[in-house]
Amino acid sequence: IVGGGYIAVEFAGIFSGYGSDVSLVYRGGLFLRGFDEDARKFVAEQYTARGIDLRFNANIAKVEKNDDGSLLATYEDGSQMTADTIMYATGRLPKTKNLGLEEVGVKMGKKGEVIVNEYSQTNIENIYCVGDATDRMNLTPIALAEGHCFADTEFGDNVRIASYDLVPTTIFCQPPLGTCGLTEAEARAKFGDEDVVIFKSSFKPLKHTLTDSPERAFYKLIVQKSTDKVVGAHLCEASAGEVIQLMGVAMKAGATKRNFDETIGVHPTSAEELVTMRTPSK
């Protein structure tokens, strides 16, 4: 699989889970660019433990078909690898060609994305666009929210815009990675090093103490020291998608680290780590 985004990482986990020997090839030094670095490193460690061959700082120069139907991939450094199938997951472009948008004067960006304002309105007053074609935040629930806001504003006598702040989302890798809010790098850039406190933990889930699985769990909270607000949450474990959904609610409500500390944990769960981390890691 060629690519380093969430689609490439998810499919690498899927095919590995079905028993395939998987190599993930990415031209950068570490996949999942834009996500928290500790979380990215943790996913890489988990994939390596699962036997997935991670090839960073690598790129395929050409692919040739062998007589037996297999594929021969030649890397830019001259090395080669044979595979049954090669899948490219290297990004998408908005499918806006041949819609007549240029003819009516709708402004578009370099990648073909439709330029809109906060109400999803283009420069042409009666033309609107929502979803990935606008290249704002390319998530299905965001597209639904944008469409709902448009309908409410235009037809429901309820003017409102979609919020892109504190959006919980999950990469369904193995184990899944849930994230909401700022990465550590973003928090330090926004608030300064002295105003950021990090709490993180990595451990083997209790259920796997009885199995041979190498799977571990990772939890990380990013707190703004001056306000005690939790401004970032990143967790990698089997139920990450379920947990990060409610984390989004708590963070939207302005939950502080003290609120977490005062909450009783549910035992035995991995998620109780969120309310038991007391010692800053940095």
Residues forming the active site: 267
CA distance linking residue 268 with residue 205, whole number of Å: 9
- Provide the pairing of β-strand 53-56 with 23-26: parallel
CA distance linking residue 40 with residue 271, whole number of Å: 19
Distant-in-sequence, close-in-space partners of 188: CB < 8 Å, separation ≥ 6? 196
Specify which residues 73 forms β-bridges with.
63, 81
CA distance linking residue 179 with residue 163, whole number of Å: 16
- Phi, psi angle pair for 170, to nearest 5°: -140, 135
> 């944990």: which residue's tokens?
265
Q: How many CA atoms lie within 13 A of 88 on its CB side?
A: 10
* Tokens standing for residue 111: 């990648």
Specify which residues 217 forms β-bridges with.
203
CA distance linking residue 203 with residue 245, whole number of Å: 22
User: Within 10 A of 212 (CB to CB), how many other CB atoms are there?
Assistant: 5
Q: How far from the centroid of its chain's Cα atoms is residue 196's Cα?
A: 22
Least Cα distance to 25 among 45, 40, 5 occurs for: 5
Q: Give DSSP secondary structure letters for 15-55.
A: HHHTT---EEEESSSSSSTTS-HHHHHHHHHHHHHTT-EEE
